[in-house]
Amino acid sequence: MTIDELKHLKESEDKVEFKEAKKNFPWNGGSHTEQKERRKCYLGYIVAIANEGGGYLVFGMSDKEPHEVVGSDFADGKVGALEDAVYENLQIRVHIEELFDDNSLRVLVTQIPSRPLGKTLKFEGVPLMRVGESLRNMSDDELFAILSEQEPDFSAKICEGSTIDDIDKDAIAILKEKYAKKQNNPGFKTQSDKQALTDLDLMVDGKLNNAALILVGKKDRINNTLPQAKVIIEYRRSETAIEFDNRIEIQEPLFVAIDKIWDYINQPASNPTFKLKQGPYIYDIPFFKEDVTREAILNAIVHRNYTITSEIVIKQYANKIVITNPGGFPRGVNLENLLTVNSTPRSRLLADILLKTGLVERSGQGVDKLYLYSLLDAKPIPDYSKTDMLQVELKISAGIQDPSFLIFANEEQNQRDDNNKLGVFDLITMDKVRRGISSELDADVVQKLLAQNLIKRSGKTSSAIYTLGDKYFEIAQTADEIAGYRPIYISMIADGYQKEDKLNMRDFVEIFADRLTRDQVRYMIEKLVKDNVLTPEGTGKGTKYKLNIDNSKGDLFELIKKVLQE
């Protein structure tokens, strides 16, 4: 957007609001006490414009056409901080640009996205709308109309110009094979491609719909018609690295792409296996489990908003995977009810096909699976805390928090029949107890676990303290929790020495906060000294540890591993 273009825009028709704002402008209500005055501020106008479908807020130009440049000092030199502050307050991402005319007068342009379908933005708890020159509170009728909006099934929409020739032969062969197996209908594999697509509602009157294209369309056709239907994977060995170590774009039909995505994530160098041996118990735990990772990716593909022209991005690190997909949570879903509400997918037909072919097990309940397997592996629960109205962000952590709990939970699960397995809420409660949380526990689940000796209670019911059952402590007593070096720990130590030449015990404790106790950290540091990776300097609390490896001679993570292997 240029200044010349801005000069001829009409506020109502072009969804733009002009303010002179020569010498500052209220950010969030200023000193006003009445709501009708407080809302006439920067955040208030952003809320109103977003509620109208998005547009522009322009500071430094007059509001009468043609809009003359008068210059503004609002947020001068603080554009980046302003974008961050808007996100922190409203949970939407705006784009802010500074323009200058021939006289070096400054114009500040804030590009504001639309509110999501069926949702409103609010300023100080109130949804706002623009009316003429002023802002007003949204009426009940207007609010009800927005909340009643229904998202059309994008995946069922016909893709004009598409024919049976746009189908990828390998992808549809996989679809037919999986459907035949899941539905116990071997004859389905022998059907013609056209008949199979028609039977599954992927072809209507000889035309493919978007679901067909996403699932079994040719790569070129997908790229031309739905370029946003791709998955980008970036790998970084360090969380602090700005540049990725490797990057790949996968834009294939989903029945082909899902295996390629997993194969890329599951490379030995980026998805090692932690070998847990504790007494008679032996477990091989991959950093990123296939069931969890596939479910998370398929959730992103099904629930994303395809009308937003951006891709699903997977960022893989040594100790976590972060998946972002366009569009916030489906309607009716939030952080508090993720596990209790059956979500309504934006692409219902697409979700239905994944269910019928066995790529997902239960429609609308994939998050249960993510939680269940993460807890069984004693890993942190999936983290959706950075999700906002415009995108879902899911973090899956690789680190095992408590090997004894992993053994305890899995041994219990393995001895149960299929009708009596530990459920996700059982494991959530057990994990809370493991972490010393005895309040706000589900009373029914607590009673069930007490009866099964999976947890114990001490003290009166009103102020009870809960601990895990005796079996857990029997397992823990045989534990040598960090007898070997986990790759993730080596990576974290390497990161620490990238910043400092010498580290003390307090530094190590901070590095492993929420992962290891102080005693476990001390045990590992003493072992690293014994293995000639570290050299202590000084005595007592003043002891610092120097790395016996030249940081300048390559990848520090790999150098430490090499020393330990020798």
Provide the domain count of the chain: 4
Say if residue 116 is preceded by a cis peptide, omega within 30 of 0. Answer: no
Residue 229, in any domain of the structure: yes
Q: Supply the pLDDT for residue 322.
A: 96
**Residue 101 phi, psi dihedral angles, 5° rounding:** -85, -175
Element holding 455 (H helix, E strand): strand 455-458
Residue 165, in any domain of the structure: yes
Q: Which conformational region is residue 230 in: left (phi greater than 0), alpha (psi within -120 to 50 degrees), or beta?
A: beta
Q: Supply the pLDDT for residue 514.
A: 64
The parent domain of residue 530 ranges over 487-565
CATH number of the domain enclosing 384: 3.30.565.60
- For residue 314, give the 3-state DSSP assignment: strand
Q: Supply the pLDDT for residue 269.
A: 86
Does the pLDDT of residue 482 top 50, yes or no? no
Residue 128, in any domain of the structure: yes
| pLDDT, average across residues 1-6 | 90
Residue 356, in any domain of the structure: yes
My answer on whether 327 and 456 are in the same domain is no
Residue-wise pLDDT tens digits, 41-81: 999 999 999 998 899 999 999 988 889 999 999 999 999 99
Does the pLDDT of residue 93 top 70, yes or no? yes
My answer on whether 239 and 332 are in the same domain is yes
Residue 271, in any domain of the structure: yes
* Full-model pTM: 0.67
Residue 339, in any domain of the structure: yes
CATH number of the domain enclosing 416: 1.10.10
CA distances from 223 to 213, 300, 305, 353 (A): 10, 19, 17, 21
My answer on whether 464 and 442 are in the same domain is yes
* Domain boundary, last residue among 117, 147, 177: 147
Burial 384-413 (b: 16+ CB within 10 A, else e): beebebbbbbbbbbbbbbbbbbbbbbbebe
Residue-wise pLDDT tens digits, 133-155: 778 899 888 888 887 776 788 99
Alpha carbons 309 and 307: distance in angstroms, whole number: 6
My answer on whether 108 and 161 are in the same domain is no
**Beta-carbon contacts of residue 276 (< 8 Å; ≥ 6 apart):** 282, 283, 284, 285, 400, 403, 406, 407
Answer whether 412's CB lies under 8 Å from 402's CB: no
Residue 322, in any domain of the structure: yes
Residue-wise pLDDT tens digits, 193-216: 999 999 999 999 999 999 999 999
My answer on whether 246 and 181 are in the same domain is yes
Q: Supply the pLDDT for residue 181.
A: 94
Q: Where are the alpha helices (DSSP H) in 111-192?
A: 140-147, 169-182
Does the pLDDT of residue 526 top 90, yes or no? no
Residue-wise pLDDT tens digits, 177-186: 999 999 999 9
